[in-house]
Amino acid sequence: MPKRHFAKGRVKKEVIIDKTEQKKIKLDPELLDDQDSEENPLVLPSQKRKTTVVETEKVPKKRLSKKQERKLKSVLQRREKKSKRKQLIEDLAKVQLPSDKLDLMTSTTDSFNQTIKKENKKIEKLKKPKKVKEIIEESESEEDKVEEFTLMQPEENEKAKDDDDKEETNESENEEEIKQDESEELKKEEKPVETSEKLTAENTKAVFVPCQRNEEIQEARLKLPILGEEQVVMETIREKDVVVLSGATGSGKSTQLPQFLYEAGYTQNGKKIVVTEPRRVAAINVSRRVGEEMNLPSSKVSYQIRYEGNVTDETEIKFVTDGVLLKEMQNDLTLSRYSVVIIDEAHERSVNTDVLIGLLSRIVLLRRKKGNVLKLIIMSATLRTEDFTANTRLFKIEPPLISVESRQYNVKVTFARKTPEDYLKGALKEVCKIHKQQPPGGILVFLTGQREVNWLCHKLKTSSNTMLPLEDKETHPKRSRKRNNKKKMPTIKLESYSALPEDEEESDLEVDEIEMLESDDGDEEIDNDGLDPMHVLPFYSLLPPERQQQVFNSVPEGKRLCVVATNVAETSITIPNIKYVVDSGKVKRKIYDKSGGSSKFEIVWTSKASADQRSGRAGRMSDGKCFRLFSSAVFEHDMPEFDEPDIIVKPAEDLYLQMKSMGIDNVMNFPFPTPPSALTLQVAERHLLALNALKRKGKTTKLTELGKTMATLPVSPKYAKMIAMAYDTDVLHYVIILVACLSVNQLFSDYLLCRKELTNVWTEGGYKLLGDYMCILTAIGATEELNSENEFCMRLGLRWKAVLEVRKLRNLIVNTINSVSGSEFSISKDLEPPSLAQATKLRKIMLGGFVDQIAKLEYKIDEETKKKIRFYQPLLINEPSQINSNSIMNIKKEDHEFIIYNDMSITNDVRKLSYIAVIDKRWLPSYCPFYCKFQPKLKYEREDPHSPYFDEESGKINCFNETSFGVNEIEWKLPIHEKEFTEFTAFFYKLYAKFLLDGLILKDLAQFSKDLLHSANMIIMSLSIPPYSKPLVQKLMNEKITDRQKLLDCFDNNEQFLLEEYLKWLPENMHYTVKKIWPPRK
């Protein structure tokens, strides 16, 4: 620090004078004026007195700490409140009524409900002091609550503390007086407080619904981790409307949370609890398990999936698939019948689940405003909670997150040193190795699809000799294998198989594939000498329920359980006695081309979250082991953290239509947990515009009447359009059957066999043009007529389970049509084949549904062989395609210029078109106008057959158009098409005036056409409107007269309409005759 100016002079000093010599002289006290003064004014000093300079020490000011400041501030505030409190009580006493008058008065609440006052008497006593405090604090203004604070010296601080202690003693002395004054004020406020306290008492009243459980089940429940968190979970649900519950596998959340809510009274007053599951298997099995634990019948705890269910009016807990609940919201958007909605397995992120969560995020707020509270619980095992909790578009207030630990035993995870090229062969080896070396315990194998499951089951059964009973093993020697004839196991390419259902992993092929698998007899030898056989069971979603139930049954004595499953066993389902997991690390996904509509299957690595789910299945009952058929490097670098939500990778046409039907105009602004891409929504909107389900209105799109009808049907939009087109025709029953068959995945187990059996039916004439759809109708008609079962279906190459599903969906469609239209339509079992005329109608109707699934025959020259190559060019994809070799259209390779197809898949980089029918290109402008471009011929010549003309039947002017069909780079020329005018230009009104003068529009004027002053053709021939015809043409333009009906409507409003303009074309001697018949209405 630099020296300050005159620093020494500003230092405070004290000078002490030595007065000892002066005090020695004694004087008369009477002479002194001031007896108390030590000075002696009568004595002068004889010499200079001695002085001593003493510098005073500077005492630094101590600054108060924050804690001391808060204490001091509270002291000052308390002092201020005490002074105001006393003043407030005095002011209240001035306006208080005398006690004798108060006794004569009665509050309205007291007279309205005396019983409630007695019940809440204890609560009122506890809350009385709090009420007085609230009255006092509310009387204080905001300015009184903010106190100015200044720092004080230590001495002043100590004084303040002393004063505060004194005030505290005074406060205790005056406490009794204050209480007496407060009790008088409480008498005034006691009765109004009664209503508010009554509501809080009712809200805090606990409800418990008893449930009679078996002792064994109760003991098993107490071992579940979620039972220890029941109080925390239920208190959070009671306080918050939206709760996110993250529970690891095995925590018991799927089965126990509905029971918690049932016991807490959420099914009282006619309300229900609904739980959504992404898979039908989970909905059925979990509902049965919950009903068994609660000891309630299926009429109380029920399930509802797409085609079946056991829901009754008495149902209190309902398990449904997410699509069922979404369909229910079309009729009851706020879900007024439910008190709680539980979204289970939200981590799977299906399209319906994401839409449900987005809708419920707004419905919860709406129900809260109406006073009918709805609780939303989102729970999952591997949930990306940030997609929900951190999504401000979804939930403005972040919902609480509750994590529940699992009852998980230790699971030892073992990675493969090297990832095998053939994971099927690796899985077979690993299972046999476990069976030979590991202690007893069930084995669970995860593969990608149903064919792989059946293949591995067959191999394990034959290798472990499980086909034979234990007592007969010695009498049946094993099949000998020669090592020198060992053949390499073939690689199965699953990409070439048919499509999956949207909510399932793959279709069901029964184990009739044994014949195909017998070709692998030369596989590597597996030594199982001295080992017990394995009890091998498949498990996938499309397996019949009775066969699915086998994995939950007890294992035969002396056998090891081995379940070969798809990813359906990852969540929701707990298979007992599983100790070992063999994870292939693979999953089959359907990859969609968003712009072209094609799809293909790819076997890809599963996510890390799914891999952890699979390994967790080994630790549900005891310590287990997980053997992963891939290396740790693959796990770290090649596997994604989580699976992509379906809403990002799947088409959104059905989603878009359903949301439009719910009144959601701007789908892009919908609060999706993960919003789909703009391209996905644009493609969906274009598809619905092509189907005429939507129409443009400014920058937005609105549902048409056809679109509203389509949204009510439980099928995809293109199939719904077909049903709507066929409603008033004689082919409705055929269309319903076709739609049901096409909606069910993989109707045929062997399509070639079916085609061979039914060849004679459709190989001639118009039936051949209906193509594969004629084969479907014939096969289903045969099964319905004979009421056939599994054996007959197998002979025709049909899957029996798919036939049952077709019947269920057909009945569902018929019931929906009857409920919407009020009709009593039904389909007879005696289904006759369609006639040729009906087959043509069916092709037109299918064209109306498959508006963008059209392909044209093209040719190109191979540069090497110089041969002409025949291929089909799809509308939306500028790449060559071929008809699937299994199609009927490949029996005789005839050249059909235009075809429609139902499915496009990619196999070995070649696009394959399946389910083919032939169409006429002349139908395209009428049934697919969205992709057509019309260029009308705006010239009128009498001799030209393509000149515009007036249509007597419709009363409109038709024109001929040069038409092309296509989109983007694809443009196919079509024949000249006749259609009515859509662009009303000056040429149109000149043409209309010409036809009016010729008497074509109104027959009453035909008699005057020969007496016209000018030829009506002059209006058309001149480039501009002639002066004598201008009034007539201008009048038609002003009134926008475009057809006969509009002209007659103008005559109804004004009988003299067009009379003056028409008379200018006639001589005066005919005016009287014209006026006599005007207005001409014939």
Between CA 327 and CA 816 the distance in angstroms is 12
pLDDT score recorded for residue 595? 62
How does DSSP classify residue 1046?
Answer: H
Between CA 275 and CA 909 the distance in angstroms is 42
More confidently predicted of 1056 and 385: 1056
Both structure tokens of 967: 């989109």
CA angle (538, 539, 542) in 5-degree steps: 115
pLDDT score recorded for residue 877? 84
Answer whether 686's CB lies under 8 Å from 851's CB.
no
Q: State which H helix or E strand residue 139 sits in.
A: helix 121-139
Answer whether 466's CB lies under 8 Å from 534's CB.
yes
Q: Is the peptide bond before 880 cis (omega within 30 degrees of 0)?
A: no
Q: Which residue has the tokens 């019947």?
A: 807
| Order of strands, sheet of 411-415, starting from the edge strand that comes earlier in the sequence | 411-415, 624-628, 578-583, 442-446, 560-565, 534-539
AA identity, residue 222: L
- Which residues sit opposite 580 in a β-bridge? 443, 625
Between CA 565 and CA 552 the distance in angstroms is 13
More confidently predicted of 942 and 411: 411
The structural domains of the chain, ordered by start, are 13-55 (no CATH), 67-203 (no CATH), 215-404 (3.40.50.300), 411-472+489-644 (3.40.50.300), 651-712 (1.10.10), 716-814 (no CATH), 854-919 (no CATH), 984-1082 (no CATH)
For residue 698, how far is the Cα from the chain centroid?
28
Q: Beta strand pairing status for 242-247 and 375-380?
A: parallel
For the chain, helix (H) and strand (E) counts, in that order, are 42, 28
Mean pLDDT for the chain overall: 77
Q: How many CB atoms lie within 10 A of CB 745?
A: 18
Q: Which residue has the tokens 């600054």?
A: 63
Q: Beta strand pairing status for 51-55 and 578-583?
A: unpaired
- pLDDT per position as a tens digit, 332-370: 888 999 999 999 888 778 888 888 998 999 999 999 998
Q: How many CB atoms lie within 10 A of CB 673?
A: 22
Q: Return the closest-CA partner of residue 407 out of 581, 578, 249, 615.
A: 249
- pLDDT per position as a tens digit, 906-933: 777 788 888 889 999 999 999 999 999 8
Both structure tokens of 851: 């508006």
3-state DSSP call for residue 277?
strand
pLDDT score recorded for residue 32? 53
pLDDT score recorded for residue 1015? 83
Candidate ranges 125-134, 278-287, 530-539; pick with highest mean pLDDT: 278-287
Give the mean model confidence (pLDDT) for residues 70-75: 87
Question: How far lies 1056's CA from each of 538, 676, 1006, 1044, 1052, in Å?
Answer: 84, 60, 19, 17, 10
Question: What does 499-556 look like in DSSP terms, one character per residue?
Answer: PPPTTSS-----TTTHHHHGGGTTSPP---TT-PPEEEEEE-TTS-HHHHGGGGSPPP
Give the mean model confidence (pLDDT) for residues 943-965: 85
By mean pLDDT, which of 72-86, 151-165, 464-478 is the weakest?
A: 464-478
Q: State which H helix or E strand residue 376 sits in.
A: strand 375-380
- pLDDT per position as a tens digit, 752-792: 777 666 655 555 555 678 888 888 888 888 887 776 676 77
Sign of the dihedral through C-alpha 157, 158, 163, 166: positive
More confidently predicted of 1010 and 130: 1010
3-state DSSP call for residue 514?
helix
Both structure tokens of 265: 């009274």
Burial 768-797 (b: 16+ CB within 10 A, else e): bbbbbbbbbbbbbbbbbeeebeeeebbebb
Q: State which H helix or E strand residue 364 sits in.
A: helix 351-370
- Which residues sit opposite 600 in a β-bridge? 591
- pLDDT per position as a tens digit, 565-610: 988 887 667 788 899 999 999 998 877 776 666 667 788 899 888 8
- Which of the four pLDDT bands, split at 50, 70 and 90, describes residue 497? very low
- pLDDT per position as a tens digit, 797-827: 788 888 888 888 898 899 888 888 888 888 8
Q: Which residue has the tokens 């053949």?
A: 487
Does the pLDDT value for residue 1075 go beyond 70?
A: yes
More confidently predicted of 523 and 999: 999
**Contacts of 992 by beta carbon, 8 Å cutoff, 6+ apart:** 957, 1001, 1036, 1041, 1042
* Single pTM value for the model: 0.68
Q: Return the closest-CA partner of residue 436 out of 321, 550, 534.
A: 534
The values of phi and psi at residue 328, to 5°, are: -65, -30
Between CA 241 and CA 361 the distance in angstroms is 10
